[in-house]
Amino acid sequence: MTHIDAGSELDPVHPVALPGGPAPGLSSAEVAERVARGQVNDVPVRSSRSLGEIVRANVFTRFNAIIGVLWLVMLFVAPIQDSLFGFVILANTGIGIVQEWRAKKTLDSLAVIGEARPTVRRDGRSTEVATGRIVLDDLVETGPGDKIVVDGVVVEADGLEIDESLLTGEADPVVKRPGDPVMSGSFVVAGGGAFRATKVGREAYAAQLAEEASRFTLVHSELRSGISTILKYVTWMMVPAAIGLVVTQLVVKNNDLKDALARTVGGIIPMVPEGLVLLTSVAFAIGVIRLGRKECLVQELPAIEGLARVDTVCLDKTGTLTEGGMDVSGLRTLDGADEAYVRRVLGALGESDPRPNASLQAIIDAYPDSDDWRCVESLPFSSARKYSGATFSEGDGETSTWLLGAPDVLLAPDDPALAETGRLNEQGLRVLLLARATRDLEASEPARGARPTALVVLEQRLRPDAADTLRYFADQDVRAKVISGDNAVSVGAVAAKLGLSGAAVDARRLPEDRPEMARALAEATVFGRVTPRQKREMVGALQSEGHTVAMTGDGVNDVLALKDADIGVSMGSGSEATRAVAQIVLLNNSFATLPSVVGEGRRVIGNITRVATLFLVKTVYSVLLAVLVVCWQVEYPFLPRHLTLLSTLTIGIPAFFLALAPNKERARPHFVRRVMRYAIPGGVLAGAATFATYLLARHHYTGPGALDAETSAATLTLFLISMWVLVIIARPYTWWRVVLVASMAAAFLFVLAVPALQRFFALKLVGVTMPWTAVGIAVVAAAALELLWRWVGRRFPV
């Protein structure tokens, strides 16, 4: 309600609202003085990591440290071909840095587009500025949906209500009057006003909270936590195996120092699945770039994965299924009211609100103000109240008080006007009731006893892409729930037009008990007259049943639910508060972008799950080979150059292409179990078959050069088995997957056929018996692997 006070409690040297008019704000000179003193809201943007952080995260890793030391050793004791693995790691790390830097630039540029621009009053004029350019003592204007970006003290208040739940946990909006404090991170739900900035930059409350959290850990990522778990177990296996290998090669066998070191390093290097972490980061980064091209701002990288796991999406009707604008399609007077007079009332009501919502803006467009009515007092619209109001001094000196809002809230249940409202709602039309109040706006229940005067019929503009998007979610087994503050029948009609079937329920009749609410949510699809608090409770009820919930919205009434949902999605044209709490912002305001985000997440998860198996099969067979070598006390069968060749052809190159390929497979949980149930049997079979070939070759070959022949036979077996793992992982086949697998096989044959490459990689198949024996062992192992993986898939489904 309008109460412009002088703010006598404030320090007189600062701008205050005076009876003669609004405070002018700071002058340009005062702003420049504060900028010079550093009293600016210079909180660093958290859109992404800095370049230094990106480099450190990609370079200074546990496994890079291990590999780096081993690489330096190999550079001094072995030919350059045994040090190739180091150059591969350098290239991979460089690719990771470049891709994440590109993603950072995409994020930062999109963040600037979607950045909130508060309105400040300077030199008596209202101007939009970037959040980072607010200075101490600036006069910041606020209205419904605006986020409070710095701490301050209220100077002007016009029915100002602020929600501080994101900071304090208190869900009820707080009425603010001049002299009251406001905290950054809260947002305006009703009314408007202005406040003086008292704390800016890192001193502001929300900035202090933000610095305690890292942007990259806000959303849980099962993919990343799963990979971390795998790497932890790999480290535990790697340490004893490596120690045993060092002792065996350097002490027990008493071999030449350089050759022993080379074979020891050759046994340790493949245990490290270093490319898996890198490939995950690259896949996420490329996903951000792809979505950025579609004007989708991913504020937290793992949110791509999170949305791919969603099985229930809660949609706010206004701004999501319908466009923000509306049109007045009819005016129906009640009880013999004069239509010309009603038009004047509606025009005055539109003029009384400086920040009209979509419904009121449609009324303003249809009924311009006549300028001879003066607003004495106003009650801004609130999502909790469902109506707004104003008191006017009419041209003849009389005063009247009017309310505009939801008919089923303002009218008694048996009022005949509700029947007409119901018929209109069934057609998908939105209806507002204009009622003359008999009580003052300051009364506890100003709507009691209001006399209905007219029904304003509004036609909502359906988003042309909404039907296709809803159909996509249905095809993907993602349940859609429409949760709106509008009339349930009207919302149900809109949903039906878009092909969304299911019962429409008035949320005022929903049970408060969470399990009972969850059951009601499972039975219906559309919910109307939902309060902001109920939206939050409904999200919690769905989550309590094990659902992964996404919430879309653009209004202030969606903020609490967006915050509590597993993934919050906001429209770019939505309020500052919704953009601040959402993990994904659709800057183009297109609901049709959501399938792209889901698809990108599924691509990342599905493909990383595939290629993780490739990397971990290598880790398992490397550890097993080390153990077998220690137990048999023989030379390790491979030099680093052999395993570099095998890893490049059967893992490195294929994994890069497979990780970026299209993949529409629905994301499933239990990443670690899904990967390890295939990696362990695959690695054990590959290691056992390779070691069997090696032992047979040791008995078959004698004399000088026998070790190279033994290594070549073992390499052939391991390559063929690894290729069969790739054949299985690459399914289902497309032309490019067939070409990829065939190219890797051809590259290995090329190495075996060219003498220079034979010498470079120390590979030469000697005789006929042992090479064909190696092929036979590989064929048997590949067949066993095929059968074993199929049995595992049926016996241990995830």
Residues taking part in catalysis: 316
Question: Going by C-beta distance under 8 Å and a sequence separation of 6 or more, which residues neighbour residue 18?
Answer: 6
DSSP assignment of 272-299 equals: --HHHHHHHHHHHHHHHHHHHHTTEEES
Q: What's the token pair of residue 217?
A: 């850990």
Residue 117 DSSP symbol: -
Which two three-digit tokens encode residue 541? 């009820």
Residues 103 and 297: their CA atoms lie apart, in Å, by 11
Beta bridge partners of 399: 393
What length does the chain have?
798
- Residue 374 pairs in a beta bridge with 393
Other C-beta atoms within 10 Å of 65: how many? 11
Strands 187-199 and 139-142: antiparallel
- Return the ∠ at Cα 647 (arms to 641 and 652), rounded to 5°: 130
DSSP symbol at 10: S
Calculate the CA dihedral of residues 187, 189, 194, 199 and round it to 10 degrees.
-20
Dist. CA 156–CA 16, nearest whole Å: 8
**Residue pointed to by tokens 């550079």:** 75
CB 388 within 8 A of CB 447: no
151 strand-pairing partners? 199
Structure tokens at 213: 């959290």
Of the candidates 460, 450, 475, the one whose C-alpha atom is nearest the C-alpha of residue 595 is 475
711 CB-near residues (< 8 Å, 6+ apart): 637, 638, 639, 642, 694, 762, 763
Number of H helices, E strands in the chain: 28, 21
| Both structure tokens of 58 | 């990609």
H, E, C per residue of 611-657: HHHHHHHHHHHHHHHHHHHHHHCCCCCCCHHHHHHHHHHHHHHHHHH
- The residue with tokens 């607010």 is 134
Cβ–Cβ < 8 Å for 492, 345? no
Between helices 84-113 and 274-293, what is the axis angle to 10°?
30
Closest CA to 405 of 554, 529, 510, 527: 529
Query: 628: left (phi > 0), else alpha (psi -120 to 50), else beta?
Result: alpha
Tell me the β-bridge partners of 126: 121
Helix (H) or strand (E) holding 76: helix 62-77
